[in-house]
Amino acid sequence: MNLIRLGLVLAVAATLAACSFQNRNEREAERITRAVVDNNLKPVENDIAEGVAITRVKVAEWSDELNSQGKLLSLKETKLDCPVGWHCFDVRFEKHHYLERMRFDENGKVVNWNFHMAQQPAQ
């Protein structure tokens, strides 16, 4: 009986882990996006390469812009129009879609991250 329960618990855990569907790059981009939305890079400061200077004023400006877009709904990596060496993401908020780009150094630290509002499809 205990083996059956253990098997069920492990199956449920594996299913839940598989449901995240985010790769490493997506998880990192989402962590940074959420930190910017929260106007606090402290949770991701160890993920950013040394020497990358991001001012509090810049974070506040980014935070204001992204917060005005409503709730973050999804973030998915895309190869479409993504330059070599970059990781690009389709980011969906309640009000608008954004394109986000991120680059890593040889140690896996973020050396560049930026975003801009995606053009809305013609109606």
Q: What percent of the chain has pLDDT over 70?
A: 81
Q: Please, what are the domains in the chain?
A: 23-117 (3.10.450.590)
Please, what is the average pLDDT of the chain? 88
Residue 55 DSSP SS3: coil
Residue pair 87/29 in contact by the 8 Å Cβ criterion: yes
Q: Tokens for 104? A: 């890593």
Interior CA angle at 31 toward 28 and 37, to 5°? 140
At 119, list the tokens.
């053009």
In this prediction, residue 119 has a pLDDT band, given cuts at 50, 70 and 90, of confident
Q: pLDDT at position 16, please?
A: 47
The model carries a pTM of 0.79
DSSP classification of residue 45 = G
